[in-house]
Structure 1
Amino acid sequence: MKTQLAALAQNGELRAAINTGNRALVQQQSDGTLTGVSPALARRLASEIGAELETVVYAGAGKVFADAGQGRWDVGFLAIDPMRAQKVAFTDPYIVIEATFAVRADAEYLRDVGDIDATGVSVLTATGSAYDMHLTKTLKHATLERSGTPPDSFAAFAAGQCDAVAGVRASLEGYFADDPSVRILSGVLTEVRQAMVLPHHDAVAIAALNEFVARAVSDGFVAAHSAAQE
Structure 2
Amino acid sequence: MKSISPAALTSFVPTGTLRVGINLGNPILANEDPNTKNLYGVTIDIANEIGKRISKPVQLIPFKTAGATVDAVKTGEIDLVFVAIDPVRGADISYTPAYIQIEGAYMVKSSSPLKANEEVDLAGNEIVVGKGSAYDLYLTREIKNAALLRSASSQAVVDDFMSGKGNVAAGVKQQLESDAKRYDGLRMLPGRFMVINQAIGIPKARSNYEDTTTYLSNVITELKQSGFVSDAMKHHNIQGAKVAE
Normalised by the length of structure 1, the TM-score is 0.93
Structure 1 CA distance, aligned partners of 2:204 and 2:159?
33
1:151 maps to which of 132, 152, 155: 155
2:222 maps to which of 193, 215, 221: 215
- Is 2:8 aligned against 1:3? no
Instruction: Out of 29-38 and 193-202, give the one that drifted further.
Output: 29-38
Structure 2 CA distance, aligned partners of 1:180 and 1:154?
12
Gaps of 5+ in 2: 239-245
- Is 2:103 aligned against 1:98? yes
Cα distance change of structure 1 residues 143 and 14 upon mapping to structure 2, 3 Å threshold? same
Structure 1 CA distance, aligned partners of 2:9 and 2:110?
50
Cα deviation per residue 1:96-135 (whole Å; 9 max; x = unaligned)? Answer: 110001211221x122211211121100111111111111
Q: Which amino acid aligns with 1:96?
A: Q
Structure 2 CA distance, aligned partners of 1:6 and 1:165?
42
Structure 1 counterpart SS, 2:99: strand
1:139 maps to which of 127, 139, 143: 143
**Aligned residue number for residue 191 of structure 1:** 195
**Aligned residue number for residue 172 of structure 1:** 176
**Aligned residue number for residue 50 of structure 2:** 45
TM-superposed CA distance for 1:200, in Å, is 1.9
Report matched runs for 1:71-82 at 5 Å: 71-82=76-87
**Aligned residue number for residue 17 of structure 1:** 21
TM-superposed CA distance for 1:6, in Å, is 4.2
TM-superposed CA distance for 1:192, in Å, is 0.3
Structure 1 counterpart SS, 2:18: strand
Gaps of 5+ in 1: none
Q: Which amino acid aligns with 1:110?
A: L
Q: Is the 8 A contact 2:70 2:81 kept in 1?
A: no
Instruction: Out of 120-129 and 154-163, give the one that drifted further.
Output: 154-163
**Aligned residue number for residue 118 of structure 2:** 114
Structure 1 CA distance, aligned partners of 2:25 and 2:48?
19
**Aligned residue number for residue 242 of structure 2:** none
TM-superposed CA distance for 1:181, in Å, is 2.4
- Is 2:65 aligned against 1:60? yes
Q: Is the 8 A contact 2:130 2:157 kept in 1?
A: yes
- How many residue pairs align between the two structures? 229
Normalised by the length of structure 2, the TM-score is 0.88
TM-superposed CA distance for 1:2, in Å, is 3.0
Question: What is the identity percentage for the equivalent residue pairs of Structure 1 and Structure 2?
Answer: 27
Q: Which amino acid aligns with 2:102?
A: I
Structure 2 CA distance, aligned partners of 1:164 and 1:10?
44
Structure 2 CA distance, aligned partners of 1:206 and 1:3?
10
Structure 1 CA distance, aligned partners of 2:189 and 2:32?
25
RMSD over aligned CA atoms reads 1.6
